[in-house]
Amino acid sequence: MASKALKTTAVAVTAAALLLGATACGSKNDNTSNNTTNTGSTNAGTNTPAAENVTITFQNIYPDPETPSYKMLHTIVDQYQKDHPNVKIELDSLNTDQQKLKLKTQAASKEVPDITIVNPSAQMKPYVDAGLLAPLNDMLDQNGLKDTFQKGLLDSYSFDNNVYALPDGNNIEVVYYNKDLFTQAGITAPPTTFEDLVADVKALKAKNITPIAIGEKDSWTGSFLFMNVLLRTNGGPGFLQDVIDGKKTFKDPAFTDAVSSFQDLIQAKAFPDGATSVDYNTGGNLFKTGKAAMYIMGTWETGAIDASSVAGKVGVFKFPKVKGKGDPDQYMLAPGSAFAISANSKHLKETKDFLNYFMTEMPKKQFELKNAVGSGQIMTGDFKAAGYSDLAIAVLDLFKNVKGGDLAFDNTMKPAIAQAHLSSIQNMFVQKVDPANVANEHQSAYDANK
């Protein structure tokens, strides 16, 4: 999976000139005139059948009105409803963890929304196995939509030659930092080792500056950050695959070293007090409002940072080596959340028509909103000429040298194992732990659910 993501990333950047897909992005949906249902009645004064009124529920993870993603979502939905007055798109906008929890409940009662959000590979497989998601192959073949995605990316959302979801991004995890706050703490350059990072945390804390923003109420955030450390202590990607293949266990020194190092970061007061009661958006806004010095997150945040009050003050650096191990050009890879359609949708045809329109319009709108860094769809165009920031250009430069990496824990392991992991890592934010106990918790969960 990692190699596919690497290949995908390389392709994306080789195009350095990532182009705004004129074919897909600029085209109108060819099917919009054919998506209505004949109810047997006609429009007054004509023989044209009246279209049935349709409501499509669109569960999404773009709840923050301040973000470009929110604006993109509402712009496209508003236009579609204007062009299709018989169709109402009912938005259910949630934070990521809220959405995951809600979807589990909905799936248990087979009441999945017309459109929902899933994550790749292991996370979405249970929904596919349960027959809850509709294959999207036919819709992808319309209007050249399939060819708008970066090569290989759809593989992470495919099972038995069927594509079940369409990703919104293809990202890497980086460290954003506020240059002004670094200067206030006397830090003259980004850290190149984890030990330097911990020292910088202490320097920032001494100046009463929150070192690293996080919203750990959404427990994936801490896990995503922790996995950077494991990627380094393991000397490269593949630790979780080695566990699955029986070559390693969670009691391996690579894992306990990662826990120990991550705990060093927490114990140095790197994160805000009460981080586990703060959700993803609120946590991220600590950085975007200049109240935290660093934000370790996927590159999908680049556009939102550029749209925030700290725009122009932010730089980016690679997650550093840990105890001399690891290659900073290997990253946590994030193929992205993806849009899936309920197999039981009462309006399957209309929902596919809308999602086709949404995905063909999204790259163009994201580019216009300067939120195209980390897009899962191919873009061409001159980012600099289009007014993208120095931060965005710097992030794009990082993509050029990606040497692979790992997917998130919950994209790799079965859901029950992933949940035990998320709870175990979240607990580290609350109390000091024994790395051996954390390893035992993980191994027990794995042995019970493999």
Q: Is residue 30 a part of any domain in this protein?
A: no
- Helical packing angle, 435-449 and 415-428, nearest 10°: 170
Largest CA distance in the chain: 78
240/339 same-domain check: no
User: Model-level pTM?
Assistant: 0.78
Claim to verify: residue 286 and residue 194 sit in the same structural domain = yes
**Residue 39 within any structural domain of the chain:** no
194, 261 in Cβ contact below 8 A?
yes
Give the pLDDT of residue 17: 30
Q: What is the mean pLDDT of residues 131-146?
A: 96
Residue 123's pLDDT is 85
Same domain, 102 and 217: no
Which residue, 419, 355, 417, is CA-closest to 97?
A: 419
Shared domain for 184 and 268, answered yes or no, is yes
Residue 120 is inside which H or E element, if any?
A: none
Residue of 204 and 120 predicted with greater confidence: 204
Is there a domain that residue 387 lies in?
no
Output 379 or 347, whichever has higher pLDDT: 347
- The CA distance from 409 to 422, in Å, is 9
Rounded Cα gap, residues 75 and 96, in angstroms = 21
- Alpha-carbon distances, residue 12 vs 9, 265, 384, 395, 403 (angstroms): 5, 33, 16, 13, 14
| Whether residue 86 sits in one domain with residue 221 | no
Domain CATH number, residue 294: 3.40.190.10
In a domain, 177, yes or no: yes
Residue 218 maps to a domain: yes
Q: Is residue 14 part of a domain?
A: no
The one-letter code for the residue type at 212 is I
Sequence-separated (6 or more) residues with CB below 8 Å from residue 289? 308, 309, 310
Same domain, 438 and 304: yes
Same domain membership, residue 61 and residue 121:
yes
- Other CB atoms within a 10 A radius of the CB of residue 448 amount to 10
- The answer to whether residue 386 sits within a structural domain is no
Q: Is 134 found in the same domain as 175?
A: no
321 shares its domain with 436: yes
The whole domain housing 256 covers 171-334+405-448
Same domain, 290 and 235: yes
Residues 221 and 176 in one domain: yes
What is the DSSP-derived secondary structure letter of residue 375?
Answer: B
Position 152 pLDDT exceeds 60: yes
Banded pLDDT at 163 (limits 50, 70, 90): very high
Nearest 10 degrees: CA dihedral of 264, 269, 274, 280?
-80
CB-CB contact of 81 with 112 (8 Å):
no
pLDDT of residue 344: 97
Query: Within a domain: residue 61?
Result: yes
pLDDT tens column, 410-425 = 889 998 999 999 999 9
pLDDT in tens, 290-331: 999 999 999 999 999 999 999 999 999 999 999 999 999 999
Mean of the pLDDT values across residues 56-78? 96
Which DSSP string corresponds to 417-441? HHHHHHHHHHHHTTS---HHHHHHH
Q: Give how many domains the chain has, as a whole number.
A: 2
Alpha-carbon distance of 139 to 352, in angstroms, equals 6
Q: Is residue 434 left, alpha or beta, with left meaning phi > 0 and alpha meaning psi from -120 to 50?
A: beta
Same domain, 150 and 181: no
- Closest by CA to 292, choosing from 187, 195, 392, 176, is 176
Q: What percent of the chain has pLDDT over 90?
A: 79
